[in-house]
Amino acid sequence: MAPFSESHPKPLLPICNRPLIEYQISIMRSLGITDIAVLVGHKGFEISKVLGDGSALGVRIRYVEQTQPLGIAHGVGRLEPVIDRPFLLFLGDIFFLPGDIGEMLRIFEEQGGGAVLATKEEHDKDAIRKNYALRVNEEGYVTRVIEKPRHVTNTLKGVGLYLFDLSVFDAIRRTPRTAARDEYEITESIQVLIQDGAPVRPSNSIVDDINLTTSSDLLFCNLMQARRENGGSVIAADFEAPEGAEVLDSVIGPNVRLAKPIRISQSVVLEGTVIDSATGFHRFVLAQQFRVDCSHGLSEAQLSQWQ
């Protein structure tokens, strides 16, 4: 995500002028979840500065630090001292377009604990290879989870959203480091749960998910959400531009100013950016210190939505 990672922890990357993590908190609040633990690492103090104690968002937030980047399971294990009930876990660098996430809770209650894994039907095998795959038996229970599989055998993709009971912490303590990345993978912990006989089922409760890995992901996510929210563009109220300037299918952050009447299309301009260029921008992410051309990073499927 460089150069954005120099100034933004990924959960604070702006999506239509709101931090990514605020969308996740909104989903939790819609489910009646108001006690939230935020695991922080890289530039974690920036996250606490923005979210505070959560009161402005209608929730209560506490912070737990992961001092070593040893994988998701290791991070979740750090949460054990502050969690005393079943919990919903979001990975903080993924934008979720939710479906019926309440289904996860209903499945969890029906099976009496264990785990429920948010999934989606995915026909792009490369997308499954970037996440994790699941194998499910005839009764609907997960029998195998495979992190970043090379060989994809079905269309079920796991996304970074999970519902666990407290037994996951016992599983994490028995999770080995993986050979592939030398980390403690949460998928390995889930496999331990399955081997222990805990009920683990999938829930196709996510319409779409975008893992913010590159600048092009940031651009696509903003354009997608702007179309959903406002039919095309989202523009901060204090945007300044001379007569003749155009903004098409773009997201303009607060305190942005155009010095010349140029055209901005299918682009994102971050807060506090002053643009004095005499030429326009198409499929760029623009900040005060840098300009990133994202045209070549978008997939054919993404490009087809804005032809």
Reported as a single tens digit per residue, the pLDDT across 216-242 is: 999 999 999 999 998 889 999 999 999
Query: Which pLDDT does position 121 carry in this prediction?
Result: 92
**Block residue for tokens 């829930």:** 203
The answer to whether residues 73 and 172 touch, using CB atoms and an 8 Å cutoff, is yes
User: What number of other Cβ atoms are within 10 A of residue 51's Cβ?
Assistant: 23
Pairing state between β 284-286 and 268-269: parallel
**Pairwise CA distance, residues 291 & 299, whole Å:** 20
Query: Which pLDDT does position 305 carry in this prediction?
Result: 62
In sequence order, the 6+-apart residues with CB closer than 8 A to the CB of 45 are none
Single-letter residue type at 25? I
Query: Which pLDDT does position 300 carry in this prediction?
Result: 58
**Pairwise CA distance, residues 175 & 196, whole Å:** 12
Reported as a single tens digit per residue, the pLDDT across 97-131 is: 999 999 999 999 999 999 999 999 999 999 999 89
Nearest alpha-carbon partner for 7 in 60, 35, 40, 46: 46
3 upstream amide cis, omega within 30 of 0 = yes
Nearest alpha-carbon partner for 14 in 50, 60, 68, 67: 50
Low-confidence ranges of the chain (pLDDT < 50): none
Backbone angles phi, psi at 88, to 5 degrees: -95, 130
Domain ranges in the chain are 1-65, 69-212, 215-304
**Pairwise CA distance, residues 56 & 138, whole Å:** 45
Query: Which pLDDT does position 270 carry in this prediction?
Result: 96
CATH code of 69-212, in short, is 3.90.550.10
The answer to whether residues 263 and 289 touch, using CB atoms and an 8 Å cutoff, is no
**Pairwise CA distance, residues 106 & 68, whole Å:** 35
The answer to whether residues 206 and 96 touch, using CB atoms and an 8 Å cutoff, is yes
